Amino acid sequence: MPNLHLTKVAVACASVEALENRLARRARGGEVRIPTRMRPKRADELIGGNLYWIVKHRLVACNAIMRIEDRNDGRIDFVCAAELMRITPVPKRAHQGWRYFERGNALDEQHDGTGVSSLPPPLYGRLAALALV
């Protein structure tokens, strides 16, 4: 299994269900295309990895990255499997665009015994805004 994945904020999605609905509307033939402006420098390492979605400061779900394609308008598409796989929520600060994500290191945080991953999203958001988590 590849070690390199991506994280991306699900902009304007208030819940995992909203993200599921958005991706279902965009899916065609078992694939969903996620556009971006820049080609990742480590694109070859991402094939077979996952695109992890951040909703309300938590990683909540992922799509398998099948390939990366150029578009006619100069942008890039991450072509992912349409199936959205939910994961145990893991705290993650929001960011712009996408970021590389080495899963082995980051998802182990959910089992660190702190209980941070079980905080309600509004409380976690407030604590994150205060830089306490």
Q: What is the pLDDT of residues 66-84, one digit of tens each?
A: 999 999 999 999 999 999 9
Q: Map out the domains of the chain as residue ranges.
A: 4-129
Place of tokens 């694109």: 43
Q: Does domain 4-129 have CATH number 2.60.120?
A: no
Q: Give the mean model confidence (pLDDT) for residues 29-42.
A: 95
**pTM metric for this prediction:** 0.80
Q: Give the mean model confidence (pLDDT) for residues 106-121.
A: 59
CA distances from 107 to 23, 83, 92, 110, 112 (A): 23, 20, 10, 6, 10
pLDDT band at 52 (very low <50, low <70, confident <90, very high): very high
* pLDDT recorded at residue 98: 93
